[in-house]
Amino acid sequence: MFRPAPHLLVFDGFADWEPAYAIAELQRSGGHRLVTLGFTEEPVISMGGLTVLPDLNLASVDPETIRLLILPGGDRWEKEPLDEALGVLLSRLAEARIPIAAICGATLGAAQTGLLAGRKHTSNALAYLKEKVPDYTGAEHYVEALAVRDRGVITASGLGAVEFAREIFAELGVFSTEDRETWFRMFKQGK
């Protein structure tokens, strides 16, 4: 039987550590098979030097196969305009109420596509969003927190990888509430 899977966007220079806690537990504890999604199907090299061969490219992905899309940070978000195919995919996912999780610089892409308007959200800083996305709207919904989840959109600061993972787990029902908090205390506080 077909089961939509979490997808991780990968590109040259993606911040590989930011989604690491989430993707490990999605597969190990959540039983989800992670699909890597690239702008092409050519290998990419992460910021940490890992070579990743994308499973699919943006042009061939079917939004109905996506359970949640994870957008990691990386310099690309600040240096290049939002890829048109990615913008279309984000809009289609939002319309279909398929969750999107953006951390660090990827929150710029979420802001550029209007995903943050009317939703509580966070980023590296409110000033960061305002500076990098001139037509950003939603400052009244900005929350000073390491990660925020609101109606299918998860956002996080680049300093909140553990909080980001916790919100992804909550969105997808990985772990019970109690086990999720135990996991968080272990990985965030060493308890």
Residue tagged active-site, from 104, 111, 116, 156:
104
CA dihedral 36, 40, 46, 47 (to 10 degrees): -130
DSSP the chain: ----EEEEEE-TTB-TTTTHHHHHHHHHTT-PPPEEEESSSS-EE-TTS-EE--SEEGGG--GGGEEEEEE--BTHHHHSPPPHHHHHHHHHHHHTT--EEEETTHHHHHHHTTTTTTS-B--S-HHHHHHH-TT---GGGB--SSEEEETTEEEE-TT-HHHHHHHHHHHHT-S-HHHHHHHHIIIII--
> Annotated catalytic, 86?
no
Query: Do you know the residue count of the chain?
Result: 191
Q: Closest Cα to residue 68, out of 138, 7, 3? A: 7
The residues assigned a catalytic role are 104
